[in-house]
A and B are shown apart, each in its own frame.
Chain A
Amino acid sequence: MSKKNKKFIDITPHKSLMQKVGQTGYSLQEAISELIDNAIDAKLSGKKIIVDIKINSKLIEITDNGMGMSEETAINSIRLGYSKKYKKLGEFGLGLKTASTFLGKTFQISTSPKGENNEYKIDYNEDDWMKKWDWDHFPFVIDHDVKTSSSGTKITIKDLKIDINEKILEKLKTELNTRFMPFIENGDLDLAINNKKTTYIKPKILGSWNKFNVSDGKVKISGSWAYQLRGLDRSYFGFNTFRRGRLVTTFDKIGLSPNQGIKQIIGKIEIEGVPISHDKKSWQKGSSEYIKTEQALRAYFVDLEPKPKKLLSGYPASSGIVEGRVRLVGMFMRDDIEKEMNKVKRGDIIVTEMTRPHFLLAIRRSEGIITDLGGTLCHAAIVSREFNIPAVVGTKHATQVLKDEQRVIIDANEGIIYES
């Protein structure tokens, strides 16, 4: 007969866990976003949150003017998995640690809470942690009677584990702009990188934004969408999805056909009621709430997905994709050059047999060029390349097929003209 012996064991996590949480596959942008999320959570009511990021090859420093952390909150901020932020951005209690340990070997949290003269400091160093400190024995410094003009928190990360170069910095600016677009747009957040305030760059759209709301039980979807012209990367369309104002996914095709043509749907949608992964990088796609969301969006967008008709094709002489109004201009052997030239207004698409140098003024005013005749070295091809105007040449019949005032899309990357 077997003998049972029950005992209680110590399952305190191994100390290396602190380092391991930083190996979750973040990108620089995602890691810094985690720290900005915390700053946004600390926003003082009625006051804009200002987040200042200093970044170079030696350190990353993120400073905010939020409410700061009380002694208790500061102590808990270094604890793995601790969070009181129910229904807020930092609800998992992992972001600060995973992001900071991903970015560097050492980090310091220094925070001054509103209404106090104390400053709390936590210094984490990977080597010291393994050698000197433990889960129940970690240094915490309180500076009393600190004269601070305002509350806030500063995270300083040193001994960086990633290379910082100009390209990465550029990418960081673009992505942070996209991620925090809702906060920047509505004036809740000012974000500066290396003393340069970021501004939200609006995507180029056709027409205007359309607001919409869809709900199914607990799932609530709201946002806006518009049409854009396809870019060089065909997959850059779909939605930026947000949860509580925080970006979860970009170019999410949820509810959309995976392959859209020259005219694509883009949008930003806030989704409520769908669970997300703990790294907050994706929705839980297997959940019934996600499936409901996908179905609701599919039903809404199924008839809105555009399928513009191809009208003509030709030689792609100068790249770019533009939409505009057709302006038929007779440039070939004409005496009334000025009359023809005056037809062209800013943003028009010139449609002509072939371009001539005497029509330069009209060409510069145009947004795109379509010609009946031409190859790589025709005047239209040369001039459009010089002035960076998208052009499709040698379509043979453009002046006969296209009508004055008709709206068309020129895909001068592929050499195709579509109806708009």
Chain B
Amino acid sequence: MPMKGLFMNHDNKEIFKFPRYLPNDLEGFIDFYPGKFPGVVPYYEKCARKYFKSPEKFKVFAEDSYKDLVIGVNIIRKDYSKGDKNDLDFLLETDNRLHKLYAFRFWIVNYLFADGPFHEHYIDMIKSYGRLAIGSHNLDTHDYEKKVLEVERNLIQSDYKDLYLRFALNGVILMRSLRKDKELSIIIGEVSLLIKKENPEKNNSLIYKKLDKIIDNIDENLLDKDLIIQSEFRKSKLPIYNMIIHSIEFEKENRDLQKRQDKLQENIHDILSTIKQKCSKDEFEELKISYKMASILSESKDIMGNIDQEFLPLWFDIIGKIAEILENMNTGYKQRQIGPGALFYAFSWYLPDKYKARIFTPDIKPFDISKV
């Protein structure tokens, strides 16, 4: 039977409005970017309308944004490598360029869409329709609510495997491969015992020594690409040690996770089929869109996250240099834990006036990747 009242509310203009709050916005960009880059507001609102019911188009938008990010970071990095890193003017200008690129290509996808009301809307839809997948027959309140959570969890998680899940599931393949080797299997047993001890970190050096034997014999293809990048970036084997320890310590749990994952697609199919019987064609279409969109938003977040390895070292180098200069200028600035938004909440108070004015003057030029 069709459910009146649930159908997507096209008149709810709030969904298309620029968000006023973002739950993950640690650096407080929601307060700064609309003022500094006013163009980001109409740009977001235009995109929100354009992609509202078009998950596939949103996916292309996110992928294109990511491509631009890579291009932009490479251009800025190249310019930065040629410039004078002791020149405050140059550093601030480079920082500003990064902010503009970040606001229009990263923040919009990763925060405004994925953490804002746009995404929240689809989650609400999934939750509302999800209840239709459960018959009330023979279920008491406890079992009914448990089912509701199970359905929501399956639909919201979708069949997309994010970085955490990929790490865990790769562990299953890794262990299967290592267990084939008798000698390595014995080492796994020894490491497992050491991990189970009261304070395993006390045995870290011993554990690492044993893991080295595993790493020497490991097929590199079994390690996640991100893990190798991390290891190279940190110039340390620790990320790889952690991954192997995790695979050993959670061997059984990861296998269960794999089983759950294998069944997830089937479960989702069953849930959607049941709901299909209980709502109108339009309503089911709405659910399908919501499900796809939530999944793509999740996936996009992961895709955008890949740029961290490129973006953050460059950005932290720049803001580190600015902090150093400000300290040396005896401005009263003191080192503190800062993030990419440091310019606005930390440095601005100590900069010479002309730079303060520059930072707080709105940049109204439209964003153009070729002029990044």
Contact = CB atoms under 8 A, between A and B. Distances in A.
B24 A378 contact: yes
Contact of A360 (B145, B164, B201, B253): B164
Interface string B143-176: 0011001000100110000111101100000000
Interface string B277-306: 000000000000000000001100100000
Contacts of A332: 26, 339
A385 B253 contact: no
B165 A338 contact: no
A342 B201 contact: yes
B225 interface: no
B24 A382 contact: no
A379 interface: yes
B120 interface: yes
Interface string B253-277: 1000100000000000000000000
A338 B200 CA distance: 12
A378 B230 contact: no
A129 interface: no
B249 interface: yes
B115 interface: yes
B23 A364 contact: no
A292 B40 CA distance: 72
Given A361-B246, A387-B168, A394 B141 contact: no
A341 B120 CA distance: 31
Contacts of A364: 168, 246, 249-250, 253
Contacts of B201: 342
Interface of B is mostly: helix
A401 interface: no
Interface in B300-347: 301, 316, 337, 339
A376 B140 contact: no
A318 B204 CA distance: 32
B24 A373 contact: yes
B114 interface: yes
Contacts of A357: 163-164, 167, 226
Given A167-B138, A333-B339, A376 B123 contact: yes
A386 B164 contact: yes
A377 B298 contact: yes
B132 interface: no
A365 B248 CA distance: 13
B242 A361 contact: yes
B120 A376 contact: yes
Contacts of A337: 238
Q: Which 4 A-B pairs have the closest CB atoms?
A: A375-B23, A233-B142, A342-B201, A232-B145
Interface of B: 22-26, 114-115, 119-120, 123, 138, 140-142, 145-146, 149, 153, 156-157, 162-165, 167-168, 200-201, 204, 226, 230, 238-239, 242, 245-246, 249-250, 253, 257, 297-298, 301, 316, 337, 339
